[in-house]
Amino acid sequence: MSVEGQTEAIQLLYNQNFTFKTVQSVAPEEKIELVIIESPFRSLSRPLLAYIDTVHELYPDYTMTVLLPEYVVAHWWEHILHNQTALQLKASLLFRPGIVVTNVPQHLAHRNEQGPTS
């Protein structure tokens, strides 16, 4: 998420034993702050939207950009399994002024279409 030059990476934490890696910037001169939001019951949308609303209330005159990763799937039916949370978040943020949503395609690993070779 980015608000006028300030960049934050959001990690939703729903398992206390979960170990996460430090976020590293592509350009070393950039500073990215890691924000950890505790999310009980594996809920993603509600805590994330509450955080976005809080930041937007603190900076109402700025434009906020939310980056959402989305899987690029090989088959049409895989859309049922993937990207549902991103779709829900996009729909929730669509009509909020001052918030821009950007989709970032994430390609799944290529599969061997012919199956395993013997």
Higher-pLDDT residue of 19, 53: 53
What letter represents residue 90's amino acid?
K
Residue 42 has pLDDT above 50, yes or no: yes
Please, are residues 25 and 31 in contact by the beta-carbon 8 Å criterion? yes
What are the tens digits of pLDDT across the range 63-99? Answer: 888 888 888 888 888 878 887 888 888 999 998 888 9
Indicate if the alpha-carbon torsion angle 108, 31, 5, 2 is positive or negative: positive
Quick one: pLDDT at residue 6? 74
What letter represents residue 104's amino acid?
V
Quick one: pLDDT at residue 30? 66
Residue 118 has pLDDT above 50, yes or no: no
What letter represents residue 50's amino acid?
A
3-state secondary structure of 14: coil
Percent of the chain with pLDDT over 90: 6
Q: What's the average model confidence in pLDDT over 16-25?
A: 49
Burial of 38 (0-12, 13-18, 19+ CB in 10 A): exposed
Q: What's the average model confidence in pLDDT over 13-36?
A: 59
Domain limits of the chain? 2-107
Nearest alpha-carbon partner for 62 in 10, 98, 100, 111? 98
Residue 3: pLDDT band (50, 70, 90) is low
Kindly list the strands in the beta sheet with 64-72, ordered across the sheet, starting from the edge strand earlier in the chain.
Answer: 32-38, 6-13, 2-3, 64-72, 99-107
pTM for the model = 0.69
Higher-pLDDT residue of 21, 50: 50
